[in-house]
Amino acid sequence: MTAASVDLGLGGERVRLLGARAAYLPAHAVLLLADLHLGKGQAFRHLGVPVPRGSSGETLARVDALLAATGATRLVVLGDLLHAARGRGAALDDEVTRAIDRWRARRPGLQLELVRGNHDRHAGDPPPAWGVRVAEDLLRLGGIALRHEPAALEGAYVLAGHLHPVLRLAGPAHDRLRLPCFRIGARVGVLPAFGAFTGGHPVRPAAGERLFVADGESVHELPPVRDALRA
């Protein structure tokens, strides 16, 4: 199955997986993103690592495109909005905070929420001007529970982030491709990392689990073919 999006029934809710590495809950007009890690490039440069500039701006532009495409009125980040406390120094103030300030000013009516992740705990709360409502552990939307770390919860289907799942695909000519994926289990689903400058953890499908590759534009459900995977 390959399409720009795929609708699944999870926890009694319709969940739309998007090729742009996000999910959408149509009944709630909620866009879900995991692991933006804004300011990661600045944090690395602060440590003397020469990484390219512009990853946070690229991430925010992709958020804008998804909000426009879905018509979402509420955005929930499933943890790790900011990368690290070190990234909240002068470099972040100069480069990222201003970009987010401008982005937020363009969308004053957008309800913005964050389920606190492990990096958020180190980075601290977002600036008040961003208008972010922070939840410590989870948010519930109908039969869906939104968390950062993927752990099952009684009475709800959990959507989470944190793991940055990717698939390594291998072809007959020794071609290799590494793509983000959704990992959908019986009780817990994991979204791919959304940020432009994030790593990934290679995964294999477990019993009863479905994997959906997200190539930026489309979603492709991986068939259970052993030879297609190299982890």
pLDDT tens, per residue, the chain with 231 residues = 568 899 999 999 999 999 999 999 999 999 999 999 887 545 544 434 334 444 577 888 999 999 999 999 999 999 988 845 544 444 445 677 888 888 999 999 999 999 999 867 877 788 888 999 999 999 999 999 999 999 999 999 999 999 999 988 765 655 567 789 999 999 999 999 998 656 677 888 788 899 999 988 999 998 864 544 444
| Domain with 212 in it | 2-228
CATH number of the domain where residue 211 is located: 3.60.21
| Residue 170, pLDDT score | 62
- Count of C-beta atoms within a 10 Å radius of residue 224: 11
What is the separation of C-alpha 143 from the centre of its chain, rounded to a whole number of angstroms?
A: 20
| Residue 47, pLDDT score | 38
Token pair for residue 131? 């208008």
| Residue 2, pLDDT score | 62
Give the chain's domain count.
1
| Residue 121, pLDDT score | 81
Strands 157-160, 165-170: parallel, antiparallel or unpaired by DSSP?
unpaired
| Residue 37, pLDDT score | 84
Comparing C-alpha atoms, which of 17, 41, 23 is closest to residue 198? 41
